[in-house]
């Protein structure tokens, strides 16, 4: 568990609303519905800390949480969202500005649905992170939905994509928020960043 309680700080709708950059933070990025908010809940052991739902486009603000000495940041998803185009455009632009322009962002966790593997839009976000020199680490989600026999080819394809990106960590985390797989590993990685 993280040192200290995990608490919601605020939902941010514009770059000038971000909290003071006075501590390191990690964020959770990925396509809409990939399981970002659920992963934060699983990691913190709080079922409804971050609001999760079956509707793509659930998270529409940049949500800040404190975890000990650091911030955890839940981002709106990219790709398809079940909301009006103009509204989606606004939060997409904010999410991209955040990824490219937050000096205290220590690592971005890029979530990818294990059933589908990386999509072109993921590659686009990886390029943004490369340009901004934000180290990122891929996290496969919903592992409980994938047969063991189907995992290898997806992992191989993802390794191939990551090898094209200078900001990518080669190590891939495989998780299930539903079953708890990989959650302790992710927590340990984040706690390690907090100690550096």
Of 6, 25, 37, 146, which one interacts with ligand GTP (CB under 6 A)? 37
Least separation, in Å, of the C-beta of 163 and ligand GTP? 25
Q: Binding ligand GTP by CB under 6 A: which of 44, 66, 137, 177? A: 177
How far, in Å, CA of 65 to CA of 170, rounded?
27
């290898």: which residue's tokens?
152
Q: Which of residues 107-166 bind ligand GTP (CB under 6 A)?
A: 141-142, 144-145
Shortest CB 77 distance to ligand GTP, Å: 3
Site membership for Mg ion, residue 59 (CB under 5 A):
yes
7 interacts with ligand GTP by CB under 6 A: no
> Cα-flanking dihedrals φ and ψ of residue 112, to 5°?
-135, 130
- Dihedral-angle region of residue 77 (phi above 0 means left; psi in -120 to 50 means alpha; beta otherwise): beta
Query: What is the three-class DSSP state of 171?
Result: coil
Q: Residue 182: name its binding partner from ligand GTP, Mg ion, none (Cβ under 5 to 8 Å by kind).
A: none
Q: Which stretch binds Mg ion (CB under 5 A): 34-42, 102-110, 153-161, 162-170?
A: 34-42
Stretch that binds ligand GTP, among 8-16, 26-34, 132-140, 157-165 (CB under 6 A): 26-34
Q: Find, among 31, 81, 89, the residue nearest to 55 by Cα.
A: 81
**Number of neighbouring beta carbons within 10 Å of residue 1:** 13
Least distance in angstroms from the C-beta of 167 to ligand GTP: 21
How far apart, in Å, are the Cα atoms of 156 and each of 138, 170, 179? 13, 12, 23
Minimum CB separation of residue 42 from Mg ion in Å reads 13
Contacts of 5 (CB under 8 A, 6+ apart): none
According to the binding rule CB under 6 A, does residue 54 interact with ligand GTP?
yes
Residues 131, 123 contacting (CB under 8 angstroms): no
Residues that bind ligand GTP (CB under 6 A): 30, 32-38, 52-54, 56-59, 76-77, 141-142, 144-145, 176-178
């Amino acid at each position: 568990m993280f040192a200290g309680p995990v608490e919601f700080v605020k939902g941010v709708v514009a770059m000038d609303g971000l909290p003071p950059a006075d501590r390191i933070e990690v964020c959770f990025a990925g396509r809409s519905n990939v399981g970002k908010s659920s992963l934060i809940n699983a990691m913190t052991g709080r079922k409804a800390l971050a609001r999760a739902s079956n509707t793509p486009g659930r998270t529409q603000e940049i949500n800040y949480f404190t975890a000990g000495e650091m911030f955890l940041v839940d981002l709106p998803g990219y790709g398809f969202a079940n909301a009006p185009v103009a509204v989606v455009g606004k939060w997409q632009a904010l999410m991209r500005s955040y990824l490219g322009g937050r000096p205290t962002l220590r690592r971005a966790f890029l979530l990818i649905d294990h059933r589908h593997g990386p999509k072109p839009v993921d590659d686009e976000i990886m390029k943004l992170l490369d340009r901004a020199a934000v180290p990122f680490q891929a996290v496969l989600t919903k592992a409980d939905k994938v047969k063991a026999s189907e995992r290898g080819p997806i992992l191989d394809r993802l390794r191939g994509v990551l090898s094209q990106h200078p900001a990518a960590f080669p190590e891939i985390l495989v998780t299930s928020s539903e079953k708890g797989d990989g959650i302790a590993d992710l927590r340990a990685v984040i706690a390690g960043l907090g100690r550096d």
